[in-house]
Chains A and B, each alone.
Chain A
Amino acid sequence: MAILVGKETRLVVQGITGRDGSFHAKLMKEYGTNVVAGVTPGKGGMNVEGIPVFNTMKEAVEETKANTSVIFVPAPYAADAIIEAADSGVKLIVAITEGIPVHDMVKAKKYVVEKGVRLIGPNCPGLITPDEAKVGILPGHIFKRGRVGVISRSGTLTYEIVSHLTAYGLGQSTAIGIGGDPIIGSRFIDLLRLFKEDDETEAVVLIGEIGGTDEQDAAKYIKESFGKPVVAFIAGRTAPREKRMGHAGAIIQGSEGTAEEKIKAFEDAGVKVAAEPEEVAKLLKDIL
């Protein structure tokens, strides 16, 4: 069954006429995702890779019955794109864009929540249900369908860990990059709740990093009520304090957000924490 995206996904690509948008629209389509529309204000009537382009999200959803949107719109306009999507009737929004101002994101997040729409990202690689649908920029070929759910704050580190999972014969139900920003649509805990209800998912891999307290919240939830095995990895054990490590959200502030406190929270919750990326697959194999 997997979660969030699959055969039923009808995808609209916001920012489809841009460099990244058109490139990835093509790759997603090649992977097998049902890409039904694109949106770029002022480019309505065009065609990109055989995909019809509309001026507004409302129009795109009315004409094509799209239920999911992926956003490649540049940062200054991306929060507005998220809000437009939430207003259009789609049920899932995946924002790839990096560098959205935090104040804009705070407003967009509130709007999305009030509309009851799920947001993944921003500043994320998107998500994939192998063999069914890829929404975002993940390299499809490293994934293999199976029973492990993956939730990660990172992009390439996810690919690194997933490639080991696949090599160990541990396929994935759905793999989700939740994004490296301080304000994101869905956190670890939100997606753990979905994986808990998903029969296909037997175990979950969490890939976290320094900054914030989302991992600690996830650990608490796992301990109290998750009920499926979880293996975690935390990046940034050697990161200095008060320095932003690439991702806007990857910063240790004061004493909050260190790798040690996150690892401790997971271990207290009975979650095995891998000491290096390769070990994740091994630990999981031992459990299953």
Chain B
Amino acid sequence: MKVLEYAAKELLKEYGLPIKKGKLATTPEEARSICEELGGRCVIKAQVPVGGRGKAGGIKLANSPEEAYEKARAILGMKIKGIEVKKVYVVEIADFTKEIYAGIFLDRKNEKAVLMVSAEGGVEIEEVARTNPDAIIKLYIDPAYGLFPFQAREVAFRLGLDNKEALKVATCLYKMYNAFVGLNAQLVEINPLVIETDGNLLALDAKIILDDNALFKKPELTNYRDLDYEDPYEIEAKEKGLSFVKLDGNIGCAVNGAGLAMATMDIIKKYGGEPANFLDVGGSSNPEKMKNAMNIILSDKNVKSIYVNIFGGITRCDDIATGLISAFKELDIKVPVVVRLTGTNEEIGRKMLKESGLPIHTASTMREGAQLAIKLAGGG
């Protein structure tokens, strides 16, 4: 779960990291009054879950509350990388002399958290990694011990700062690691971490990605889930215990198991079709899940045919058949449905579908099912 900048900063503040005053606004009027509260000058920042906001014109300086109103009006509703801006963060202006990059994330290959710091802050770290990899300092952190303060200092003293500044940066890095662990984050990034003209540090921009699987430890973090920016069907699917990703094609897929679901999309594409979605109905899919899956697929008006591909292991084919039959009874299914049922209790499942008299096309192999679904969608 990616949280927006304002939320990342609120969370970092709880761990003692320095951030400027600011508030969220969803209307130009709100932006104006927040700007007044902040003393009449502010920065208006689009809150979207993608990078490159500055270049897209999503971050603007305002020298008066009136200007804040105008700038917020321009930013709200604009699209950044295809995403509509629905809220802006109105914050105090900062004057700074230096920009530093600081990030902590889980390195999959080394199976450890890694702290990355660079004196070249303010640009994307991937960019620095490409153009000047030597400017990046990396420190792998032992999960059993965590980050020691001396390690944070060692890193900070390599940034070319004066002694006082370096010690402040070290403290920041240490607090960032506490946030990383405390929030069970996959990523905590401050970019840039700036040194203000008065010598103090400030997290000017921040990004946090939380582990969905760890949210049970701090349920209050789910309040930062921003439903404005998530696909409504993906949200619905998640609530129903299904794993769903919307794609652009016209052949809906309902499959048991993530690997098989991906392979099903791939085989559709291979034979000239376009999958409309990724959908994993789960390991022990009960009949209700199958019905919910059909419902979510049908809510996509592009869908011209549906391919149900099931390899019953733990999933029983008779459960899938029961779910399909009730889906046909309760939902208005007008598009052709291709079903391929193999594995545990396949004979019972197939017999049930046959006896139901429903207009279901059956296939005996994965390939045959894909080809049939493509044909019925009018393509291939």
Contact = CB atoms under 8 A, between A and B. Distances in A.
Interface string B207-221: 000010110110000
Contact of A248 (B213, B262, B270, B280): B213
B259 A209 contact: yes
Contact of B260 (A104, A154, A238, A278): A154
A207 interface: yes
B144 interface: yes
A227 interface: no
Nearest to A279: B367
Interface string B287-326: 0000000000000000000000001111100000000000
Contacts of B367: 276, 278
Nearest to B113: A106
A101 B263 contact: no
Interface centre among B109, B126, B181 (most CB of A within 10 A): B109
Contact of A106 (B112, B216, B311, B366): B112
A238 B276 CA distance: 11
Nearest to B249: A238
Contacts of B216: 75-76
Contact of B184 (A101, A213, A233, A243): A101
B263 A210 contact: no
Interface string A160-190: 1001000000000000000010110000000
Interface stretch (A39-47, A60-68, A136-144): A136-144
Residues of B contacting A: mostly: mixed
Contact of A102 (B211, B245, B257, B267): B211
Interface in A268-284: 275-278
Contact of A107 (B143, B262, B268, B311): B143
A207 B275 CA distance: 21
B283 interface: yes
A235 interface: yes
A240 B247 CA distance: 8
A34 B122 CA distance: 59
Nearest to B109: A213
Contacts of A244: 245
A153 interface: yes
Residues of A contacting B: mostly: loop
A23 B30 CA distance: 57
A236 B313 contact: no
Given A238-B266, A240-B245, A207 B259 contact: yes
B261 interface: yes
A50 interface: no
Interface residues of A, number: 57
What is the interface residue range for chain B against chain A?
Answer: 35 or more
Nearest to B112: A106
A156 B311 contact: yes
Interface in B346-373: 365-367
B314 A103 contact: no
A250 interface: yes
B343 interface: yes
A235 B343 contact: no
B329 to A, nearest CB: 27
A180 B258 contact: yes
A73 to B, nearest CB: 14
Interface in B86-108: 106, 108
A163 B263 contact: no
Interface string A89-131: 0000000000111111011011100000000000001000000
Given A103-B214, A182-B108, A236-B262, A159 B365 contact: no
Contacts of A180: 258-259
Interface string B133-147: 000000000111000
Given A160-B311, A212-B109, A100 B256 contact: no
A240 B278 CA distance: 10
A48 interface: no
B213 A75 contact: yes
Contacts of B214: 101-104
15 contacts: A102-B211, A103-B143, A103-B211, A154-B260, A209-B262, A213-B108, A233-B263, A235-B260, A235-B266, A239-B262, A240-B245, A245-B258, A245-B278, A247-B259, A278-B367
Lowest 8 A-B CB distances belong to which pairs? A154-B259, A246-B258, A156-B257, A157-B259, A101-B214, A235-B262, A139-B313, A156-B260
Given A163-B342, A238-B262, A246-B262, 4 more contacts: A182-B106, A212-B109, A238-B265, A246-B259
